[in-house]
């Protein structure tokens, strides 16, 4: 005989997109100029270069019964602006952003760093993924996972 339980709650993924422009260079100071040029090509150019980044933040959860929202997108927009955009927009990612110090600002490393800034601030729903586009064709997705291998 079927036991009736609480109705299953639909799980949704809500996405907010933000944009910022920033300068960086890919350079590992532990290696020679020659190694950096060979490894990173023009991305290692000493005087930096810019990208128009797109950041997508995905929050998972069920709609709250009183609002119908997983998360208020206006609030999510504020969090992204405060935590990421205001700190990175029109900045040099190698030198000017406190939480990026010591990192090679590849899209991968930026995605992990952004996750760590955003995750504790998302209290409605849960942070599910972030996607960081360095160009229209190149992007990285991070879901807060660790490689067990
Ligand atoms: Ni670049």
What is the C-alpha to C-alpha distance for residues 149 and 146, in angstroms, rounded to an integer? 9
Say yes or no to pLDDT of 18 above 90: yes
What is the C-alpha to C-alpha distance for residues 123 and 144, in angstroms, rounded to an integer? 16
Residue 51 CA to ligand 1 center (angstroms) comes to 6
Residue pLDDT, tens place only, 71-80: 999 999 999 9
Residue 88 bears catalytic tag: no
Secondary structure letter of residue 3 according to DSSP: P
Say yes or no to pLDDT of 60 above 80: yes
Residue 90 bears catalytic tag: yes
Helix (H, G, I), strand (E, B) or coil at 57: strand
Kindly indicate the confidence band of residue 6, based on its pLDDT and cuts at 50, 70 and 90.
Answer: confident
pLDDT of residue 63: 97
pLDDT of residue 149: 83
Residue 120 CA to ligand 1 center (angstroms) comes to 28
pLDDT of residue 90: 98
Residues 98 and 80 sit within 8 Å (Cβ to Cβ): no
The H or E element that residue 148 is part of is: none
Task: Identify the structural domains of the chain with CATH numbers, from first to last.
Answer: 12-142 (3.30.479.10)
Q: Which among 74, 86, 96, 73 is positioned nearest to 19, based on CA atoms?
A: 86
What is the C-alpha to C-alpha distance for residues 100 and 106, in angstroms, rounded to an integer? 11
Residue 32: how many CB atoms within 10 A of its CB? 10
pLDDT of residue 98: 98
pLDDT-above-90 percentage for the chain: 94
Burial 46-78 (b: 16+ CB within 10 A, else e): eeeeebebbbbbbbbbebeeeeebbbeeeebee
Q: List the catalytic residue out of 33, 90, 119, 141.
A: 90
Say yes or no to pLDDT of 1 above 80: no
* Rounded mean pLDDT, 112-124: 97
Q: What is the pTM of this model?
A: 0.94
* Rounded mean pLDDT, 99-104: 97
**Token reading at 18:** 């933000």
**What is the pLDDT of the chain when averaged over all its residues?**
96
């Amino acid at each position: 005989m079927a036991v009736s339980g609480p109705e299953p709650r639909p799980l949704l993924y809500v996405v907010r997109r933000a944009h910022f422009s920033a300068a960086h260079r890919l350079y590992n100071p532990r290696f020679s100029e020659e190694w950096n040029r060979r490894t990173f090509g023009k991305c290692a150019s000493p005087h930096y270069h810019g990208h128009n980044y797109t950041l997508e933040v995905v929050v998972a959860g069920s709609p709250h019964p009183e609002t119908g929202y997983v998360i208020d997108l206006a609030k999510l927009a504020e969090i992204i602006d405060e935590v990421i955009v205001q700190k990175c927009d029109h900045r040099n990612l190698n030198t000017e952003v406190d939480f990026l110090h010591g990192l090679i600002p590849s899209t991968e490393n930026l995605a992990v760093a952004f996750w760590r800034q955003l995750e504790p601030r998302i209290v409605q729903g849960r942070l599910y993924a972030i996607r960081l586009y360095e160009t229209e064709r190149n992007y990285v997705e991070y879901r807060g996972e660790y490689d067990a291998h």
